Structure 1
Amino acid sequence: MQKKSFYINKHLAGHDLVETALSFKPFVNHLQKRRPTDDTIKARFYSFALEHFESETEDIKASSDEGVPPNEHALELIYSALSPVLLSEEECYWALSTPVPNQILYSTDSFYKLITSKDIREASSSIITNDDMFRKQQLEYIYRLILKRLYGFTSVLSNNIYYSYVNADTGLSRYYHINIDTTFIEIEVKGKLPELDFETIENYLHEDTSVEVLTEVLPLSLFKFEGFSVISLEDVTARKAIEDIRDAITDPVEDQKELYRSVIQSLKTLSESNHVCFGLLPFIKLNGQPLFDLSSCSESILMQSARKYGVAEETYNALVSRYEKEPKAVFFSSISETRQQKFFFLKTLRDAGIKSYAVIPVFYNKHIAGVMEVYSEKELVFYENLLSRLEFAIPLIAQLLQNSIEYFNACIDDVIRDKFTSLQPAVQWKFNEVAWEQIKNPKARRRRTSQTLIEFKDVYPLYGAIDIRNSTIERNIALQNDLKRVIKLLLKILHILEDRYPGKQWQPLTEKASDWLQVVEKQVNTSDEMLINEFLESEAGLTLANLRTEHPESGEIVDRFLEMIAQDCEGPAFTQRNRLETAMQMINATISNYFEQAEKQLQQIYPCYFEKFRTDGVEYDVYVGQAIAPKQPFAPDFLKQMRMWQLTSMVEVSRLTHNLLDHMPASLQTTQLIFIHSVPIDISFRNDERRFDVEGAYNIRYEVIKKRIDKVLLKDSDERLTQPGKIALVYFTEAEADEQLTYIKQLQAQKMLQPEVEKLDLEELQGVVGLKALRVSINFEE
């Protein structure tokens, strides 16, 4: 044991934030309470310790106040009482400190060596060397204890404090979690304690992220801390590496290489060896066949080596095929000539200087998502302890590889949605004619001639959009509320269980639940949601289920949580999301059903190409003109009827969605937008690629405007053009506005629209200048 007194942060020695006094009185009081209630041999130890403290407490306190080290025998008694009997001192990072931890009075050798080591003293990320960070942690510690002891608030401030540094020998980071036992600290209030509620404290911290804001309502001059604190450090390097991998996956950067390298660095930290390296290789497929994608394979040592020989694609395809048929981990502690002959890819690795190599298949939902490589430039034996360290990282690696697969598929889907479209009845005749020509003439079918280009020239576009207002915000709020409800229930149960069934299993769960609650309080993405559900079901749920098996009487506490997480998406854990989803489905179903019927009316005016798109609402495109129906004469009056239909349909569909408000479980409103483009455009379909093209620069401009006006603002204003209960009509020329005003007046006469008409100038968009808009309010009373 170390009897030497030292400071964690010597720069802040003597700069106390609150009045403190070192005293063993709280410890003595604790022993006195425990002695009569304990009938084990511990009671004899309590009596032995009390005999010493009751005779020497005042001398100990006086010596401490004068700066003299406290009685060594007393400190040994405290260590013996608070540390496990069979735990070796070399394995225990333990220290006794002042009430607000800084001055260490007594510590184990392992604690002293760690805190005073050169590595941690030179680590810029450690709070030992960062005065501002250390002062902030002390302030949070003080207020956390005050709020818990005097107000009963236990979750206002975070309790996660880490020491971190880079080991000079390995070049890898190490992390230690700091646990401070405040059992033996008493708080004296000097004067009247201010009255506070939880909401007031939360509001203060919400408005200002710095804990110093609490000094306004709780001045530290009101308090005195008496007693001592006990510090213990836990090596959480492995856990922190897992958390870093999780964070990288849940908050990915756009650069996939950077993401993979960050995860690989965490795997190295997890391995605790700078000789072991890692590679990650997702199995990308296109149309069910392996597809070599250089960007996805860049962090694989096998692919890097194979590229030098120009065989990367062949190696990738062979590897995917092999592991889909026989997905078994293969380890090569050394790469011999015999093994190189049996496994074709080992030669390229050997030439790259790799002497040890392992490839481990990674599964996602029982399907192989890719492989993880473990390799070294030294001959190594891949012991089981290395695999055990990687055990908890494998599910996250599986998620990462699956994310890469889904990202690739999403890119393909985006291209398809952007560039291709399905056939519509109004234009099917054109495809039929081209198909028949190719059937009649097999030679033409084998050639790509101009006949395969299907064009529709001089067609008039009509575009409309009905959007659910703030749908993304509402979805995030619903998800947050549901997850907060479940996590808060879990925390409440864990606190109860910690008191009834003391054990080490509760603290990690409580910390993780608190961490996730902080994540949920800010913002939750899809990956977060999956990882939180995994934690609730696989970690917390499994622990509580095991507890219930061992202690059936705990059912009254844990059953509510177990039942909540056991239910499917219809359960109480999805209440807010289900309400929102139901409301959105009601709106979209109503809109889709309306347009399925309304399109029939539109086609009766004149055959046209009509296509609607499901977003968070519904968008549609209409193209009409002589080219669509060459055998039926087209007249300008048809276009006027269609524009009248467009405005009328917007009124009718908005009335339908408005009438849903009283029936929807969540209150959602829609906005209505029409873009008027009076000049005809050219469009084309390519039969071979089924690709939709807007022909010509001017026509492409029309598409650009369509995509940018949904969130356009009024000129010199922060107000969005689209508003609930109104229809916005975007146009360029006054002639277009005059035509729309004619239709508006007709609907006003029918009491479908309110009398007022707003004429608005819109902000300049990128590459678009001079946009204007009309905005009219819908009459919901008629």
Structure 2
Amino acid sequence: MQTTSFYINKHLANCDLVENTLSFKPFIRQLQKRLQEESTVKSRFYSFVLDHFKSDGEVIVENSADTVNDAYALELIYSTLSPVLQGEQESFWALSTPVPNHVLYSTDAFYDLITSKGINESASRLMADDNNFLNRQQEFVYRLILKRLYGFTSVFSSNEYYAYLNPDTGLNRYYHIHVDTTFIDIEVLGHLPELEFETIENYLHDDEGVKVLADILPLSLFKLEGFSVITLEDVTAQRAIEDIREAIADPVEDQTELYKRVISSLKTLTNNSGVRFGLLPFLKLNDEPAFDINSCSQSVLMKSAHKYGIAEETYYALVNRYEKDPKAVFFSSLSETRQKKFFFLKALSEAGIKSYAVIPVFYNKHIAGIMEVYSETELVFYENLLSRLEYAIPLIAQLLQNSIEHFNTCIDSVIREKFTSLQPAVQWKFNETAWEEVRNPNNRRKQAEVNAITFKDVYPLYGAIDIRNSTIERNLALQQDLRRVMKLLNKILAKLNELHPQNHWLVLIDKTNKWLDVIKESVNTSDEILINDFLETEAGVALATFRTEHPDVSEVVDDFLEMISKDCEGPAFTQRNRLETAMQMINAAINNYFEKAQHQLQEIYPCYFEKFRTDGVEYDVYVGQSISPKKPFTNDYLKQMRLWQLTSMVEVARLTHHLLENMPASLRTTQLIFIHSMNIDISFRNDERRFDVEGAYNIRYEVIKKRIDKVMLLDGSERLTQPGKIALVYFTEHEAEEQVTYIKQLQSKNMLLPGIEYLDLEELQGVIGLKALRVSINFEE
């Protein structure tokens, strides 16, 4: 036992929140009461203890330091209050002043723990933070006063922890603090204020609770006399389990960090620094294992196998094995014999692992993954080790299942974003419709209503980014490639006719020259099919057959045969491939831009955004009250979106312009916006899995949208859309005036060059009176 006194928080040694005096009177009074009630042999011990104290309950105390110089008296108190069979080295017990801080007598275990340098900041930061410690002391005093004098219980939380870093294991230990206040008397110095629980109830569970009580019940009104008994309970296992539960409940995006937190808590749970853990979820795609290196990052087997390039193979083998035979496997040592039988053990052995265990983890009776237990020393997997993990397994199962669901959610999100028209802004409508069908599956009368998903009175925004002269560029690239192939074929046929004269070569030469004449003009789709048929079926077969019969001509014909044999990759497709690469660069840049930019649009107001792949990219935006009924829609939101539309066109044009220097083929884009100020209705078409306009009047909007991409100016001098410019098509002067305000804003920011073109457009079939604004983009800024 330790008779050396010390402070739990030495910085607050002289901080007296309330007058409190060390006294054994309450203890002696309680002992006297127990002696009168006790009829067993315990009564003799109580009498023995009482005999040591003076009849008035006093002991010799040095008031200046509250240090008791009668160690035997303290030992008698410890013997009275502690279990008879509990060893002193196993007990974390201490006797302190009424407000627990100054410890006067304690077990060696308590003293060593509290004075250790390994004490860490706990969840409550009780020891590390002086202000927090002082606040908890105040709460302790008020909790005692309210319970004893007012009968209020369960006021403030009393769940305090010490966190101790064990220097031997390097692992945290957690201890719950219990303070026994049985032997404390409270004296009221003056008049005790009346207090209704309802008055203070709302303040007791927040940070202001102590301050409120300090105004109502100043601690100067009270005096505490007696002593408190502090005991610590090792709750490391419970705390580790709670940490795992909190980690799983924490909605973090970083799965790797989440797994590291859980694995750290598992190590704490075992209280063995030599034992380590790995976790591996079993991901499936279309009912087949799906290997994802990021999800495997916390598996020692996967990390070891990755170094040898067999991680994916190992993963598939592991998943297939444990789905068929999900049994725990224990390797106390990784002998050469076992390594030959289990191929993956060699990678573990090379990583320094000496023992390894795989424990399958189930969620709702289906395997969700595995937990690995391993060590760099040979380890016998005693029942004690596994029993410590028993309460953690259900939480590990939930963690692995969460990873599986996270993986599936990511897949669904990509599918919804990239491949279907269903978006978060309109998801609620589909949810309601689906729920109505689930709730009333037999209500055939409303079946038509259930299937019709319509949004009324929405405002459309349409934009198109087109690759200029893409058809002409394609035809030119095709002509260049075919001309190159035909010239090579002509050269080869002439050489063969020189080496092995035949009428057949002359016939092929004649056909080749005719096709060259056709290529000089223009090549349509029909011509392209016939030319390819001639090159592959007629000329190609003839040359291949002749080479087999005359190996000496191999050097002459091999280049041509190789050229036409490679499907869309060889020299016969050089110009077309350059063009396709350039177009892919443009479309990828535009798509990536809108994938990010549309989030800005959704922040303005929830809307439906859909883009289409053409030679460039087209998009539709629909916004209105019916899409987001809970958020009031105003015209100001529409104005912000139209400004966004013009701004995005400038940014896209700049983006594609700066690609020119890196593109294998020089392609430029045109930008078109159609202004339609009237609202329309849209409905979801189940056959095409997309929204479309509804009603005869609304369809007119769709017709105009499809016809303006190649519209000419009224004088027929040129097409409206031009590289380096943005064209805005409109009907009314009001629409033009609104757009001019946006144009001037961007011109003031040097995004657009000065000047606005006001243009009249040619008549289109069924469309009269179209006009346009056209502005030039500043590529220098």
- The question of a shared fold, defined as TM-score above 0.5 by the shorter chain, is answered with yes
Q: 1:223 to 1:277 in 2, by over 3 A?
A: same
Q: Give 2:460's aligned residue.
A: 677
2:51 corresponding residue in structure 1: 51
Q: Conserved in 2, the CA contact under 8 Å of 1:464 and 1:675?
A: no
Helix, strand or coil at the partner of 2:155: coil
* Contact in 1 for aligned 2:91/2:109 (Cα 8 Å): yes
Q: Deviations over 1:598-632 (max 9, x none)?
A: 759xxxxxxxxx764xxxxxxx56xxxxxxxxxxx
Name the counterpart of 1:278. 277
2-structure distance, mates of 1:586, 1:41 = 75
How far is the alpha carbon of 1:739 from its aligned partner? 6.4
**1:722-751: CA deviation from partner (whole Å, max 9, x where unpaired):** 7769776764589966769xxxxxxxxxxx
Number of the residue aligned with 1:74: 73
Q: Following the alignment from structure 2 to structure 1, what is the Cα–Cα distance between the partners of residues 429 and 225?
A: 61
Superposition CA RMSD, Å:
4.3
CA distance in 2, matches of 1:161, 1:261: 25
Cα distance between partner residues in 1 of 2:445 and 2:59: 89
Q: Secondary structure at the match of 2:55?
A: helix
In the alignment, does 2:4 pair up with 1:4?
Answer: yes
Q: Describe how 1:400-415 pairs up with structure 2 within 5 A.
A: 400-415=399-414
Deviation at 1:231, TM superposition (A): 0.5
Structure 1 residues 65 and 25, CA, compared in 2 at 3 Å: closer, same or farther?
Answer: farther
Map of 1:32 onto structure 2: 32
Q: 1:381 and 1:304, CA in 2 relative to 1: closer, same or farther beyond 3 A?
A: same
Distance 2:147 2:218 in 1: 16
Alpha-carbon distance between aligned partners in 2 of 1:154 and 1:585, rounded to the nearest angstrom: 47
Instruction: Identify which range, 159-168 or 119-128, moves more after superposition.
Output: 119-128
The equivalent residue for 2:15 is 15
Would you say the 8 A contact 2:121–2:128 is kept in 1? yes
Task: Write out per-residue CA displacement over residues 502-559 of structure 1, whole angstroms, 9 at most, x where no aligned residue.
Answer: xxxxxxxxxxxxxxxxxxxxxxxxxxxxxxxxxxxxxxxxxxxxxxxxxxxxxxxxxx
Q: CA deviation at 1:677?
A: 1.2
Q: CA deviation at 1:385?
A: 1.6
User: Residue 125 of structure 1: CA displacement?
Assistant: 9.2
On the 8 A contact 1:126/1:165 being kept in 2, the answer is: no
1:89 is aligned to 88
Query: Matched residue of 1:416: which SS?
Result: helix
Equivalent positions of 1:567-582 (< 5 A) are none
Cα distance in 1 between the residues matched to 2:361 and 2:91: 36
C-alpha distance in 2 between matches for 1:207 and 1:316: 50
Q: In the alignment, which residue of structure 2 is the partner of 1:246? A: 245
Q: Tell me, yes or no, if the aligned pair for 1:19 and 1:225 is still in contact at 8 Å.
A: yes
Change in Cα spacing, 1:114 to 1:66, as seen in structure 2 (3 Å) is closer
What does 1:102-501 correspond to in 2, within 5 Å? 102-120=101-119, 127-128=126-127, 130-205=129-204, 208=207, 211-421=210-420
Q: CA deviation at 1:152?
A: 2.9
Q: Check conservation: 1:677, 1:731, Cα contact below 8 A.
A: no
Query: Could you tell me how far apart the structure 2 residues matched to 1:142 and 1:178 are?
Result: 15
1:69-95 deviation digits (Å, cap 9, x = unpaired): 153232222111211011111111111
> Does the 8 A contact of 1:126 with 1:164 survive in 2?
no
The 1-side partners of 2:141 and 2:46 are apart by 29
Deviation at 1:120, TM superposition (A): 2.9
Query: Which one is further off, 85-94 or 119-128?
Result: 119-128
- For the 8 Å contact 2:120–2:165, the answer to whether it is kept is no
- CA deviations on 1:256-315 (whole Å, 9 max, x unpaired) are 111111111111112222222111001111111111111111100100011111111110
Q: Give, in whole Å, the separation in 2 of the partners of 1:66 and 1:348.
A: 64
Q: How far, CA to CA, are the matches of 2:396 and 2:120 in structure 1?
A: 33
Write the distance in 2 (CA, Å) between the matches of 1:218 and 1:353. 64
Name the amino acid aligned to 2:24.
Answer: F
Give the superposition deviation at 1:238.
2.0
Residues 57 and 329 of structure 1: CA distance in aligned 2, closer, same or farther (over 3 Å):
same
CA apart distance, 1:377: 1.5
Q: CA deviation at 1:129?
A: 5.1
Number of residue pairs the alignment of both structures matches: 508
The answer (yes or no) to whether the contact 2:161–2:177 under 8 Å persists in 1 is yes
Kindly provide the CA deviation profile for residues 212-233 of structure 1, in whole angstroms up to 9, marking residues without a partner as x. 4432222111111111100111
CA distance in 2, matches of 1:142, 1:724: 49
Once the two structures are superposed, residues 410-469 of structure 1 have per-residue CA deviations (whole angstroms, 9 ceiling, x without a partner) of: 22222333344499xxxxxxxxxxxxxxxxxxxxxxxxxxxxxxxxxxxxx9x979889x
Structure 2, gaps ≥5 residues long? 466-586, 608-626, 643-673, 681-737, 739-744, 747-781
Structure 1 residues 405 and 725: alpha-carbon distance in aligned structure 2, compared to 1, 3 A threshold: closer
- Secondary structure in structure 1 of the residue aligned to 2:349: helix
| C-alpha spacing 1:109/1:206, structure 2 compared with 1 (3 Å) | closer
Aligned mates of 2:186, 2:429 — CA distance in 1: 57
Separation in 1 of the partners of 2:435 and 2:129? 53
Is 2:5–2:67's contact at 8 Å kept on the other side of the alignment? no
Q: Distance in 2 between matches of 1:122 and 1:706?
A: 45
Residues in 2 aligned to 1:588 and 1:216: alpha-carbon distance in whole angstroms: 58
Does the 8 Å contact 2:279/2:370 carry over to 1?
A: yes
- Amino acid of the structure 1 residue aligned with 2:45: F
CA distance in 2, matches of 1:397, 1:146: 44
Q: Please give the alpha-carbon distance, in whole angstroms, between the structure 1 residues aligned to 2:390 and 2:210.
A: 38
**8 A contact 2:461–2:675 mirrored in 1:** no
Q: Partners in 1 of 2:599 and 2:121 — Cα distance?
A: 55
- 1:596 deviation in Å? 5.2
Distance across 1 between alignment mates of 2:89 and 2:448: 79
- 2:118, 2:419 → 1: CA distance? 59
Q: TM-score, normalised by structure 1?
A: 0.58
SS in 1 for 2:53: helix
CA distance in 1: counterparts of 2:378 and 2:65, whole angstroms: 59
- For residues 485-512 of structure 1, the C-alpha deviation after alignment (integer angstroms, 9 at most, x for no partner) is xxxxxxxxxxxxxxxxxxxxxxxxxxxx
Give CA-to-partner distance per residue, 1:692-725, whole Å, 9 cap, x none: x99997998997688445569xxxxxxxx97769
Larger Rg: 2
Q: Is the 8 A contact 1:22 1:65 kept in 2?
A: no
Paired residue secondary structure (2:136): helix
User: Cα 1:332–1:39, aligned 2, differ >3 Å: closer, same or farther?
Assistant: same
Aligned-residue offset at 1:329: 1.4
Structure 2 contact 358–371 (Cα < 8 Å) conserved: yes
Specify whether residues 588 and 322 from structure 1 end up closer, same or farther in structure 2 by C-alpha distance, changes over 3 A only: closer
In structure 1, what is the Cα distance between the partners aligned to 2:436 and 2:53? 73
1:373, distance to aligned residue in structure 2 (A): 0.7
Deviation at 1:586, TM superposition (A): 8.8
Tell me the distance in 2 between the aligned counterparts of 1:124 and 1:404.
27
| 3-state SS of paired residue (1:378) | coil
Name the amino acid aligned to 2:329: V
Residues of 1 paired with 2:131 and 2:599: CA distance? 50
Distance in 2, Cα, partners of 1:126 & 1:336:
47
SS at match of 2:68: coil
For 2:57 and 2:199, the matched residues in 1 are separated by 41
In structure 2, the residue matched to 1:603 is none
Q: Which amino acid in 2 is paired with 1:138?
A: Q
SS of 1:340 mapped into structure 2? helix
2:156·2:205 contact (CA, 8 Å) conserved in 1? no
Superimposed CA distance per residue, residues 298-352 of structure 1 (whole angstroms, 9 cap, x where no aligned partner) = 1001000111111111101111111122211111111111000111110111111
Supply the AA of the counterpart residue of 2:27.
F
**Counterparts of 1:595 and 1:710, CA distance in 2:** 35
Mark the CA change 1:151 to 1:123 in structure 2 (over 3 Å): closer, same or farther: closer
